[in-house]
Amino acid sequence: MGGQLRNAALTTAGVVALVVAGGAHASGIGGDAGGYNIFIFGSGNFIATNADSTGDIAAGGNVMLSSYQVAGSVSGNTALVPNPARLVVGGTLTASNGEVGSGGSGTIYTNNTPTLSSFTAAAVAGQTVISSFSADETEYQNLSTFLGGLSQNGSVSTGAGNALNLTGTSGTLNIFDISGSQITGASGGTINISAPAGSTVLINVSGSSATFANGSVNETNVGAATVLYNFVSATSVTLSSMDPEGSILAPDAGVVGSNGQMHGQLIAASYGMGGEDSTQFDDVMFTGTLPAAVPLPAPVWLLLSGLALIMSPTLMQRSRARLLLRAG
């Protein structure tokens, strides 16, 4: 995961655009996902039952809800566009026994006729809130890759009772590299995060899967609003009776959940498998400060692009394989 230069995007023509960590910094999660408790990009689906989100939800694919409240802690106002309490659906909506917004004061934004049964909202309007869920998918994949390239400056250790200890000393940004298997290994135990007050915690997670199960996350001097788990390559993340106490960026992952809560934002490829996906999502926005990806100057970019075009066949094949994996 180390190194300052990262491959930030691959175009369909195979040209590599590179970025470098610069002096610019950004607070919170930027882009369309910034104001959402749950943001599912691309054509990903959101499927949930017998639970709620206290904040807004947006999904590029289909949304299927049963006994579910969206934006339960948000007072809606149909005079505002968009409504502060909202459910944004890129595909089709099928929902029963629930509501959008506190007291049903929210708005459903969709370009398809929803199928609703005892599911209420103050209004249904056309979906013009999110301009391109597809572009968002690329944006957050690139963000994950960039953040995954930042060098670790914190320490990681294990302890008795399935404890995973993350200790940072930076007053600004504390970066940890762990594997999904280490999170899974902490099941039934604790993940202990300690960092100076006012700092941001970035946890870069490698591996294809991770499970938060039957344990707890303990935070010292920091809280869920300034902790971000970045699942760089995971295709599966499971939340099972263990609150990560932080936001999750998982651009390639299908996330499933059963019971329990999550204090933080979820930004992922999909949520739910049609079973008992019942995580309660509490609307804790990520407010940490992260370094921004700064495009290289044009002459340098052109030079590196030229080098990319004369890469060995093996490297080109690897780049194409990565692109196909992202597309899948």
* pLDDT tens, residue by residue, 245-284: 999 999 999 999 988 899 999 999 999 986 668 899 999 9
**What is the Cα–Cα distance from 306 to 299, expressed in whole angstroms?**
11
CB 28 within 8 A of CB 265: no
Backbone conformation region of residue 300, classed left if phi is above 0, alpha if psi is from -120 to 50, else beta: alpha
Residue 138 has pLDDT above 50, yes or no: yes
Backbone conformation region of residue 305, classed left if phi is above 0, alpha if psi is from -120 to 50, else beta: alpha
Instruction: Give the residue-averaged pLDDT of 307-325.
Output: 47
Measured from the Cβ of residue 289, the count of other Cβ atoms closer than 10 Å reads 15
Residue 122 has pLDDT above 90, yes or no: yes
The closest of 54, 56, 52 to 68, measured between CA atoms, is 52
Residue 232 has pLDDT above 70, yes or no: yes
Q: Is 307 exposed, middle or buried (0-12, 13-18, 19+ CB in 10 A)?
A: exposed
pTM: 0.85
Locus of tokens 């039952």: 49
**What is the Cα–Cα distance from 294 to 298, expressed in whole angstroms?**
12
User: What was the pLDDT predicted at 273?
Assistant: 83
DSSP letter string, 192-243: EEE--TT-EEEEEEESSEEEEES-EEEEES--GGGEEEEESS-SEEEEES--
What value does the mean pLDDT of the chain take? 87
Instruction: Give the residue-averaged pLDDT of 310-314.
Output: 48
Instruction: Give the residue-averaged pLDDT of 47-57.
Output: 96
Beta bridge partners of 201: 174, 227
pLDDT band, very low/low/confident/very high, at 20 (cuts 50, 70, 90):
very low
pLDDT band, very low/low/confident/very high, at 314 (cuts 50, 70, 90):
very low
pLDDT band, very low/low/confident/very high, at 192 (cuts 50, 70, 90):
very high
325 in helix, strand or coil? helix
User: What was the pLDDT predicted at 5?
Assistant: 33
Instruction: Give the residue-averaged pLDDT of 124-136.
Output: 97
Instruction: Give the residue-averaged pLDDT of 61-67.
Output: 97
Residue 210 has pLDDT above 80, yes or no: yes
Measured from the Cβ of residue 27, the count of other Cβ atoms closer than 10 Å reads 11
Which tokens belong to 253?
A: 């992952």
Q: Which residue has the higher pLDDT, 258 or 96?
A: 96
